[in-house]
Structure 1
Amino acid sequence: MKQILLTALALNISAFAFSQQTNPFKLIDHYAKEAIKTNQIPGLAIGIIKDNKVIFEQYYGAENLEDQKKVGPDSMFRIYSTSKLMTNVGIFQLIEQGKLSLEDNVSKYIENLPEDWQNIKVKNLLTHSSGMPDFIAFNDILPEYSGSKTIERLSKEKMDFKTGNEFRYNQTNYMLLSMIIEKITGQSFGDFILNSQFYDAKNQVVFSSNALEKIPNRIIKYNYNPETEKYEKSTDVEGKKAYPGNGLAITLPAFLKWCSHLSKNDFLNQGTKDMMWQPFEYGNKKDVFAYGWEINKTNNIPSYGFSGGNVSAYRIFPQNNMAIIMMSNGYNFFPAQYHMINHLAAIMDKNLTDNYLLAEESIIAEFAKPDNPDAEKNYYKIKAKDPKWDFEGTLNNIGYILLRNSRANEAIKVFALNVKEKPQSANAFDSLGEGYFSIKNYTLALESYKKSLELNPENTNASNMINKIQNLTTKN
């Protein structure tokens, strides 16, 4: 990546405090093009609304890699789990109309629920605190299964945890929300969402959770294959029960209209939105999430949003009267959606600058480069800016991504850096052990796993790997 981007990313964040003469849209355009290059994003659309006006709408790259059709206003990106935001708004529209309550038991609207599900409330579905098993985890639940047939199959499984105790992301929650919507409105889920939220953009939105279905202008996600070093089109096939959780494909103009309606209280009044964005009180007193929305705070300024498929994200900043949309169709290394939203927000308003995330973005970008010669130097330069910054999880994730991309020696260097930074971390040593094991350096792998087990005697993976390595070396 060019030095100018590194400077903007981490080394001198004040670069974002542009003067009145500086055009922020040129900075956004420059950043978008650099992000595309860094992450090898095939196609991208970015939209920004400020004070209820579209102030930035731009398209980059190709809808597909087969004929290089350019991304444009008619391109419908699959936004995957960002679709949940439209489901959330639909539920709160019914709440605002007095047809539904957060405290209602799901069993009030859906028959033949398992006994363990009887006290699950609507609020538990929105906050992923239901504890129900997730239908995604069961291969025998077929795409064509109806909601009722899926419930029948899941009734044979135990609850994952006590209802209300914790956050655990779960597609079953949203399947049930769509069934509640259909019960109350008498409409199909898709029709209700289109009629209530996309009445002025119906031809720019489509519901489908089948990547093989031929839909004009719909963009299918590309997955990067590290072995062939090429992109491959997604072939995921799910049925209508997945629509509320991941089924929406939408153009940027339609998304911008939706965003504007939400900001202007056309969908929900301000009191209802405030309720929707309130933190849910989990039993474990740890998890933080609103009613279907992620909660973020930058310099004590709140924002709310969600992402999907690691290729789309939406964030609204109520105090700033601003919202940002990004939609893409693939990436080759590290999921970029959160860093991109954060970076765009910082360009738009220096008060929304999250220095840590900008620094993390720079670290990832350098390690993503082939052989990454300056990555470690860049890491220490960034770390010197604020020694309190903790990048243990970031380095661990980078190491595993390098490992999956057949860059084992580079991965080991990252894991070793993490161990150097966190000498008391059992997880860091465990990861280093996996790196050495991947290149069959059993001596150093054993040494790392033993250190991990010493730091955390309950690390069963380390003990299992120690036994495995000792068996392998004994046989040899």
Structure 2
Amino acid sequence: MKKFFLLFATALFSTFSMAQNFKKQAKSVDSLFGQYVDGKKSGISIMVISDGRKLYNRSFGYADIGNLGKANSSTNYRIASVTKSFTAMALLMLRDQGKLSLDDKLSSFFPNLPAFASKITVKQLINHTSGLMGYGDARTKEPLKDIDVLHLIEKQDSTRFTPGSRFSYSNSAYVLLGLIVKQVSGLMLDEFVRKHIFLPLEMKGSTFNNLAGKIPNRAYGYNLRDGKLLLEDQSNASYLQGDGGIYSSINDFYFWDQALYTDKLVKRQTLEEIFRPSSQEAPGINYGYGWYIEERYGTRRIFHSGGTTGFSSYYVRYPEKKFSIVVFANQDEGLALEPIVNAIERIYLLGENSEK
């Protein structure tokens, strides 16, 4: 009996110590967001996940400054290029269903493209080695749709470099990947992702941007201009789907994060392929299928960031540690998320104390 009570007391003390440590870590993370305490600030939402447990889940500032709508864990932010991991997942799901091959040529889906399309594969679109020109210089007052990007590329006569020869980050490639999903599945990318990813994972609030403006619990975008925070919510490229069109919350992203440890969406072999280096942006910084891959703290670090008019996002995973950080904000210019994420990593993975 004495041995039992000794074991019980030891377990109780261990649990108490762990709880105290979590409180200290949360307090250290809180200190990173002191600027949000006073005044009408844009919003930011942060979630830290360890082995399925939400260690930190807090929001600061406003999702809608004009109406004093505070940000919370259900606030939907436009996650910009973090969308690319969903687009890549959709392509791999279709590949596993036998509906396409990563070696298929771009010209097989869009025969009206110039001759260079016959040298670009789906895989090269996914890993940013296609060499496609960008759509960013398109001069139009009307919002671009995905099909408009295809037509812009139809008018180009060359690529930046020989497809497959090097890395060059390409939003155009991911817009075309979204159109390939439509060609193969019969569903627009937003419909495919909603049916095959959002609904199965119970990401109930997540959606794609749309011209009707019907986004539940949405944040409005802001940017810092000449010392003033101004409402800057959309641009002519804001409604493109494949490269950055998703709105989501940190609450919904918890389900996405946890699904990436399982075979809920694709078989584990495919997950391993998704997170395996497929191209290299720079020494030590690789790209898989919709994810950057590097090593930090002696283990794999898988991540993607996003920035667009009025919004920024950063999502990082340490799969071997089952540790993740999600940070969404409704501000781009004047806000840098990477230093915040780096500080959170040091608090939880290195035990640093960032309190001032």
TM-score between both structures, scaled by the size of structure 2: 0.83
Task: Name the stretch that deviates more: 172-181 or 307-316.
Answer: 307-316
- 8 Å contact kept, 1:24–1:348: no
Match of 2:172 in 1: 172
Per-residue deviation, 1:115: 0.6
The reply on whether 1:294 has 2:292 as its aligned counterpart is yes
Higher relative contact order (CA 8 A, sep 6+): 2
Structure 1 residue 57 corresponds to structure 2 residue 73:
no
Larger Rg: 1
**Matching residue's letter, 2:175:** M
Cα distance, 1:106 vs structure 2: 1.9
Structure 1 unmatched ranges of 5 or more:
1-18, 366-476
Q: Which residue is 2:80 aligned to?
A: 80
Indicate if the aligned counterparts of 1:79 and 1:248 stay in contact, CA closer than 8 A: yes
Q: Name 1:256's counterpart in structure 2.
A: 254
Between the aligned partners of 2:247 and 2:303, the Cα distance in structure 1 is 17
Amino acid at match of 2:151: E
1-side partners of 2:190 and 2:333: how far apart? 32
Separation in 1 of the partners of 2:303 and 2:89?
Answer: 12
* Residue-by-residue CA offset, 1:371-409 (whole Å, 9 max, x unaligned): xxxxxxxxxxxxxxxxxxxxxxxxxxxxxxxxxxxxxxx
Shift of residue 36 of structure 1?
5.0
Cα contact 2:293–2:303 (8 A) shared by 1: yes
Counterparts in 2 of 1:307 and 1:340: CA distance versus 1, 3 Å = same
- RMSD in angstroms over aligned alpha carbons? 3.0
Alignment of 1:24-35 (within 5 A): 24-35=22-33
**Structure-2 change in CA distance of 1:287 and 1:345 (3 Å):** closer
Distance 1:315 1:179, change over 3 A: same
Point out the structure with the larger strand share: 2
Contact 2:285 2:294 in 1 (8 A): no
The amino acid that maps onto 1:329 is N
Q: Report the alpha carbon displacement of residue 287 of structure 1 after superposing the two structures with TM.
A: 6.6
Greater CA drift, 321-330 or 137-146: 137-146
C-alpha contact 2:130 2:163 (8 A) present in aligned 1: yes
Structure with the largest fraction of helix: 1
Aligned with 1:129: secondary structure?
coil
> 1:155 — aligned with what?
154
Kindly report which structure 2 residues correspond to 1:405-424, keeping only aligned pairs within 5 A, or say none: none
Give 1:48 deviation, angstroms.
2.3
Q: Are residues 21 and 321 of structure 1, via their aligned partners in 2, closer, same or farther at CA, if it must alter by over 3 Å?
A: closer
CA contact (8 A) 2:146 2:175 kept: no
d(CA) in 1 for partners of 2:241, 2:348: 33
Alignment match, 1:90: 90
- Give 3-state SS (helix, strand or coil) of 1:320's partner: coil
For residues 444-463 of structure 1, the aligned pairs below 5 Å read none
The answer on whether the counterparts of 2:103 and 2:122 sit within 8 Å (CA) in structure 1 is yes
- Which residues in structure 2 correspond to 1:36-47 (within 5 Å)? 36-37=34-35, 42-47=42-47
The partner residue of 1:231 within 229, 232, 249 is: 229
Is contact 2:174–2:243 with CA below 8 Å preserved after alignment?
yes
Instruction: State how far apart, in whole Å, the 2-side matches of 1:124 and 1:100 are.
Output: 14
Q: Which residue of 1 aligns with 2:3?
A: none
Give me the TM-score of the superposition, normalised by structure 1. 0.63
Percent of pairs identical after alignment?
A: 23
**Aligned partners of 1:257, 1:96: CA distance in 2, in Å?**
22
Deviation at 1:242, TM superposition (A): 1.4
What does residue 327 of structure 1 align with? 328
Give the C-alpha shift of residue 33 in structure 1.
4.1
**Matched positions, count:** 332
Code of the residue aligned with 1:323 in structure 2: it is S
Opposite residue 269 of structure 2, the aligned amino acid is G
